[in-house]
Amino acid sequence: MAWLADVIGLSSVVGAFFAGVAVSQTKFQDEVSSSVSSVGYTFFIPIFFVSIGLDMEFGGVIKNLGFIVIMTLLAIATKLFGGAVGAAVAKLDWPSAFVVGSGMVSRGEMALIIAQIGLSANLMAKNLYSEIIIVIVLSTIVAPLLLKRTLKV
SS3 string, the chain, reads CHHHHHHCCCCHHHHHHHHHHHHHCCCCHHHHHHHHHHHHHHHHHHHHHHHHHHCCCCCCCCCCHHHHHHHHHHHHHHHHHHHHHHHHHCCCCHHHHHHHHHHHHCCHHHHHHHHHHHHHCCCCCHHHHHHHHHHHHHHHHHHHHHHHHHHCC
Which domain covers residue 34, as residue numbers?
A: 1-46
Based on the fold, state whether residues 6 and 76 are members of the same structural domain. no
Q: How far is CA 83 from CA 79, 106, 132, in A?
A: 6, 11, 21
Based on the fold, state whether residues 21 and 68 are members of the same structural domain. no
Based on the fold, state whether residues 40 and 98 are members of the same structural domain. no
Per-residue pLDDT of the chain (153 residues; tens, 9 = 90+): 888 988 998 878 788 888 889 999 999 888 888 888 888 888 887 888 888 888 888 888 889 999 999 999 999 999 999 999 999 999 999 999 999 999 888 877 788 888 888 888 888 888 889 999 999 999 989 989 998 988 885
Based on the fold, state whether residues 38 and 103 are members of the same structural domain. no
Beta-carbon contacts of 92 under 8 Å, excluding residues fewer than 6 positions away, are 100
- pTM to 2 decimals? 0.74
Based on the fold, state whether residues 127 and 76 are members of the same structural domain. yes
Based on the fold, state whether residues 86 and 122 are members of the same structural domain. yes
Contact 108, 139 (CB under 8 A): yes
Based on the fold, state whether residues 69 and 133 are members of the same structural domain. yes
Q: Provide the number of structural domains found in the chain.
A: 2
Based on the fold, state whether residues 65 and 115 are members of the same structural domain. yes
Based on the fold, state whether residues 25 and 66 are members of the same structural domain. no
